[in-house]
Structure 1
Amino acid sequence: MRLAAVDPHSRETMTFDWGSAKWYVQPDTDTPEAGLTFGEVVLNPGRGHDRHNHPDAEEVLYVLSGTGRQMLDDADPFDISAGDVVYVPRGVFHSTVNTGWTPMRLIAVYNPGGAEAALRGLPDFAALPAGAVPRLHRE
């Protein structure tokens, strides 16, 4: 096993109508010793991901920048902004929406890792190869 820093440009980018995700550490990549998934999620202005859950994994979201609304367990959404941490227990339905005019950046951690694989099944999923830069599109 060779330990080294992860070059973000060495990872593919998952893109969607609502934004993008890049997973830096995953159990099924070149870090097979990892038991969790760690990555960055970008929500485009005014966009968000639909209500969903992860039956087999808990999730932690750390807001790097931007402002949004977070829904947990089908309760009323609450405001989130840079520096906030959101814990999502296993199986709890949740969604995040960017309420600002700039991209909202989040760190996402799944424990155990692997829940991100389900994103490949979404109808708006497209993968960009390592090194490619995702683009915002105009509506």
Structure 2
Amino acid sequence: MIRVIDPFAQARPTWLGLDDTGHRRKVFKVVDQDLNTSEFLVGGLTIFEPGEASSLHDHPDSEEINYIVRGSGEVVDEDGHHTAFEAHTFMFIPKGVKHQHVNTGREPLWLVFVYGPHSELPST
């Protein structure tokens, strides 16, 4: 069955990074094994306020695609390379590659994530 999902009404919202200064963000997961019974994918929306970032993390067995709905920022790899991105761009992150999303702009960053196969969200 096809589902249309409102991330603000039907998702499982989670705050990440509350105990780690600069890494606070809200994640609205909309698809995984439990939510909408996805067999292969995890997906949702992450919102970063200006100056906030994810932790440096990876998904060891999952490839990831991100789409930037709103805002701008940079993605940082484990070697410290910074690559800028803007609204309406995609990024592809191969499995096992450590990465960090950073909101370098002046407005909230809305990032849609999809990765598969199933993997856990970072804990921070």
Alpha-carbon contact 1:74-1:94 (below 8 Å) kept: no
CA RMSD of aligned residues (A): 1.7
The list of structure 1 runs, each at least 4 consecutive aligned residues, that deviate by more than 3 angstroms after superposition, is none
SS in 2 for 1:50: coil
Alpha-carbon contact 1:35-1:112 (below 8 Å) kept: yes
Identity %: 27
Question: How many aligned positions are there?
Answer: 117
CA deviations on 1:2-58 (whole Å, 9 max, x unpaired) are 5432233122211133211111111222x2243101210111111101111111111
Query: Corresponding residue for 1:135?
Result: none
Task: Tell which structure's C-alpha radius of gyration is larger.
Answer: 1
With structure 1 as the length reference, what TM-score do the two structures score? 0.75
Q: Residues 4 and 85 of structure 1: is their aligned pair in 2 closer, same or farther, counting only changes over 3 Å?
A: closer
Give the distance between the partners of 1:62 and 1:93, measured in 2 at CA.
18
With structure 2 as the length reference, what TM-score do the two structures score? 0.83
Alpha-carbon contact 2:31-2:38 (below 8 Å) kept: no
CA deviations on 1:31-90 (whole Å, 9 max, x unpaired) are 224310121011111110111111111111111111101113525101111111111111
Higher relative contact order, structure no. (Cα contacts within 8 Å, ≥ 6 residues apart):
1
5+ long unaligned stretches in structure 1: 123-139
